[in-house]
A and B are shown apart, each in its own frame.
Chain A
């Protein structure tokens, strides 16, 4: 029969014995942490990168982010989605960002001139515009030419890339829509939502957004001759505290793995 004092005594002896062995094991353990570990599930110190991306990339980049984190367990990705033009303002005001992915290349021109990036962006995808209307096309809109049948048309902000692309498409058709009929969405997603959940009759949005909206809108394609080639650019922001990890992410987006995801969501190859 063990008395309690015996129990405590032997427990103490056991702990001290273990402690002695720890003194030997601990340094080895710490050293092993510093070495690259592949197969073992040991808690590694994670670094986080912030990726500011155009609103039209919300679905595809979230998916890329998941796959990237699986492939690079030491890097955690945090996304910040908004219209490319407002992201440019944010970055110029000093918002901490590691990677910027824009729906056009002129956003990067602006950042180059203010010194927020030092080199040209890499083009990682292409997109085009499409006309979306209410399911069933109740107003019988056949193309951009009769888009004025709609009483309210949703477009992006005049200075946002998708707004500029839409304006280009309209000018190629020679169609002018009165400002009093245009509602401007704060980003590409909101612009589409005006038709899918709101009361706008038509919107000019990215083809990829039209695809992800599925049955909530009807799509009218814009022929390639009159359509635009939206070039999406990606680059690392100057002053990023995790530039190495940021470059890793950029490489991933450009890699076959990243390109495959982009393709699945309807983006065209660069």
Chain B
């Protein structure tokens, strides 16, 4: 511990304080708007309960789907040599840079019933409609959450020293066993961080959800959509639900502690 690196310059400290204030002030402002006396009543309102139920269910499903699709993708990006790798990586990052509403429009183009590439086929062959359904919510949320999970997993896979898998192989572990018993435990920090980030992103999605799955109370109206809808008609309810979402986010971050930066916990 030398004196050069351990002493933080004053201007850096002030800058950091400004950053903290910038982030903390809106949260404080939001908390001030909550009508604490009616909080319980607002949170148990039908629309709010529906919204939370749909949000929690859809975001968990979206996270699982993101894992199913994202883990193989991360594996190939981290460990396979193939042409078109840069293209695949750009594709994975695309939902992160696309404005969410644009993402929703793109999803319509693919999975919409009317003229979607695949959606039209699904509808004419099986009568399946993905839009305006809970599945539509899950698809929209998976679309935006997938990149977070893939990036986290890819980083984790790259950082695993292959020597552990090698020694496991020499000891007789088949590739599946190696994956389950060696790779996954080593991947755990990145996996947990990636899942949490993906889940948080899915939970907070608005633009793609409302464009693709619509805003049907009790069916596709997620918590963010409900907050927006209630802002004019029932501001108290909007603030109450916002408070709940903030509380969940804070809980999530506390649960992650330092792991989400990708380094070891300090």
Chain A positions near chain B (C-beta within 8 angstroms): 83, 85-86, 88-89, 134, 151-152, 154, 157-160, 179-186, 190, 194, 197-200
Contact = CB atoms under 8 A, between A and B. Distances in A.
Contacts of B216: 152, 179-184
B232 A88 contact: yes
Nearest to B216: A183
Interface in B201-251: 210-212, 214-221, 228-229, 231-233, 235
A43 B200 CA distance: 52
Interface stretch (B19-27, B78-86, B107-115, B143-151): B107-115
B214 A194 contact: yes
Give the interface centre of B212, B214, B220, B235 by most chain A CB atoms within 10 Å. B214
A88 B235 CA distance: 13
A183 B215 contact: yes
Given A83-B232, A88-B232, 10 more contacts: A85-B233, A151-B129, A180-B217, A183-B132, A197-B105, A198-B112, A198-B114, A199-B112, A199-B113, A199-B131
Interface in B90-149: 105, 108, 112-114, 119, 129, 131-132
Nearest to B130: A199
A198 B233 contact: no
A89 B234 CA distance: 11
A86 B231 contact: yes
Contacts of B131: 152, 198-199
- Nearest 7 A/B pairs, CB to CB: A183-B214, A199-B131, A159-B233, A199-B113, A85-B232, A152-B132, A184-B215
A145 B195 CA distance: 48
Most buried by B among A85, A158, A160, A183: A183
Contact of A179 (B108, B214, B217, B235): B217
B33 to A, nearest CB: 11
B225 to A, nearest CB: 9
8 contacts: A85-B232, A89-B232, A179-B216, A183-B214, A184-B216, A197-B108, A199-B108, A199-B113
Given A198-B108, A199-B131, A184 B229 contact: yes
Contact of B232 (A160, A190, A200): A160
Contact of A198 (B214, B220, B228, B232): B214
Given A157-B229, A186-B228, A180 B215 contact: no
Contact of B129 (A181, A185, A194, A199): A199
Contact of A152 (B105, B112, B214, B235): B214
A159 B228 CA distance: 12
Nearest to B108: A198
Nearest to B129: A199
A86 B228 CA distance: 10
A83 B119 CA distance: 31
Interface string B26-42: 00000000000000000
Interface string B185-205: 000000000000000000000
B105 A158 contact: no
Contacts of A83: 232
Contacts of A154: 214
A157 B233 contact: yes
Given A86-B231, A88-B232, A159-B232, A200 B132 contact: yes
A199 B218 contact: no
Contacts of B129: 151, 199
